[in-house]
Structure 1
Amino acid sequence: MSRPGRADEGSLNAETLAFLTRPGLNRLWTAARARLERNGLRPTGTMRLQHLDAPEREALSLLLARPVTGTTAAISLSDLDARLHTSAAGRGLAATLEALGPPLTDRRALRDAATAERARVWSTARTELESTSLSSQPWTERWLEDLRRGGTLTRQDPYTAATVVTQAIRTLATLFPDGDAHPTPVSWGRGELATRATGSAHGLDDGTLLSRLVLRGIALAHDTEFPTDAPTRRALWRTASVTPDEVSSTVLTYGLRPTGGTWQETALCERADHHRETHLTLRELRTLTLRLPPGARVHVCENPRVVEAAADTARTAPLVCTSGSATTVVLTLLDVLAASGCTFAYHGDFDWPGIALANRITQRYGAEPWRMRAADYEYLASRAQVRDTPTILLTGPPAEAAWDPELAPTMTAVGIALHEEAALDLLLEDLG
């Protein structure tokens, strides 16, 4: 950027440099630099230096060619610029500061450029919007205004912001080709739609900026709330005839014997009769009528090893495994089972993440603790000590157990983590 007042002369001579860099002028140059950078590098306005000491008053008097006697001095930048031009420095204020270093930054020009770039982003977005069938829809104006006010795009660099908002508009135009929020359904896979918009099958994955922009548009088009969790996001995608990936994530089950007579339910019963585990996908859960006998008690575990051991020993109780965390597909299955009248008993790891997960399950479904009380922990810890089993220390912030106020203090006092496998023999007894 241009720097007004910059001279083309070479470096300052040693005598001039020694004078200008004396400690008594440090505050002057710092204040002048800050003011110049705010002023677009133009020497305008007045600075006020306060609490001047004797060396500062002496240096300023020599530089300004006028006596500075008080503890406060008002210094006109234009006068300082003129004085430097006629002094041994032989150059104006901006050029002198450049010579003293570091280079000046025209912050006003940077702000103006950033403002212009942001304006171009919105101009690009509006032009793109008007070129599509969405332009006649009132919700698109609100969508664009929400993006502007929300600041999500303005926090991106201009190229990214323009690219993403353009991709979002084209994606929404693909979903609503006639500008109608309820068009004749054309089914899209989310990966397929993402590839069309971005070239990547992951362009509309959860958490991406593009997916948030498109979902906000879909929500406004259907006059519904913006989704706040994975199940509601999936449901909103489906309202626009977009099918999220519903086959790659599964929930591990064992011993489920639904009472219906469809081929899917029959297959589950046969696998249970043959002591075979079953992985269910979200796609299957959407089409499966999964009703167990009234009041059926379903055990829920955290680690797949419990399911494996139950199958190996031909246990009969129904079992669902969270596989370390309760993902969307796990919660979807438990929701279905809870709606059919099932009750739950939960067991997981005796460590702080395990307690946090147990809290989530017990509070959401009213699940009973399954060998997960303080007495159970103490017994397993003592047994591990007697058996001389290597121990793992508890780490991380403690988590209170919602079902047993004594559990967290007991775990803190003993100080060891016990994974679910430590109780495997006891769990298998309960699984009948």
Structure 2
Amino acid sequence: MTAARFDRPDLAPLWAEARRRFEATDAPVSRVRLRALRPAQREALADLLGLAYTPGEEVTVSVRTLDTILRAATGGLDTRAVVEAITGPLTDRAAQRRDRATERAELWQWATAHPVVVAEPALLTWLDRVRAAGLVDGDPGATRGLLEQAFQVLAALPAAGEPLPVLAARITGDSHALDDDSRLGKLVLRALATLHGEDHPADAENRRRWWSSAGVACDGLSTTVLVAGMRPVGDSALARTLHAWADAGQGCVVTLAQLHRHPVGHLAGPVFVVENPAVMAVALHRFGDACPPLVCVAGWPSTAAITLLRDVAGTGAQLRYHGDVDGEGLRIAAHVMSRTGARPWRLRAQDYLRAVPDAGPPVGRVDDTPWDPALAEAVRARGVTLLEEMVVESLIEDMAGHACVGVESA
């Protein structure tokens, strides 16, 4: 005899609940509890179980007892087999949940180990917020796809002044992919805000400001970088201008538009990069027209600063970066080094511990420092900011060994 005789509407609640219990766990199911049974369903259950009475609206059925009854009636089919015969093959939902948990764990392991995040650990805070917000449509695959696009956009920034739709089309193939109301656009803006230690830009004005800070549709004339002592090889208008100001012992401002039209040529010797204009002022005072190649990013680097440093690094010159040692200063350092290939300059744990004062401004949120993990640990432990101006004499001493090294004939 088959299970078909038990495929009756009045027994449907029993098979539906048994199916739910079997699919929900890998452990053996010992009991099935039924609730709100109608009179006909209660009578059918009493008939199946051979009860001398009609049970109430709530009944707990022993699966072992049910197995014994069903095996005898069907020639060997237990409760699980009868449920499958009547309602279809069971789904191992417990295994599905384990697989999804593994997928989620692998997703976040992949994201935290992504080169973009490793280079700028401040993005770990952004990923924590993304994770807390939940998966895209509950799907690890869709979430990974969105994050992959976000990483591609972040790796492409600063964008050298191209319009947002052009950037979006170049990276994703969809000119609207970074629109204000798009998932990807919101995700990237949250990442940019996190890098700068600020909240997500909620209004249109702040969104434009953040995109502009990342070089998207920025003004090629007002986006500038401050330089000194640069004597690049070549005879372009920019090269001649840089030579003239270096020979005069003065710093000068270079615009993004100039860099687009006249990329900087080869520079001999290392190029020193600092965060604060005061350091450049001291260097020019000390060295005058013998000042070695020096670039000041003036806080968070502009698109012009990153473009210049990339151009210089592309000619083979070594970049050496120094900045303030506090939470934001270290995020700026990670950003500059990840975007340009610059090396740390007096920016390791021993440098900080040697020079940090006993008291001073608090350091704020300190993210990891990939070039020297011990530095972040030391800064968190001491909690005192080491401003770049406080170590300027050490920086000047390093630069002195390369004074005039950039002098070349145009």
Give the TM-score taking structure 1 as reference length. 0.44
Higher relative contact order by CA 8 Å / sep ≥ 6: 1 or 2? 2
Give the TM-score taking structure 2 as reference length. 0.46
Q: Could you say which structure has the larger radius of gyration?
A: 1
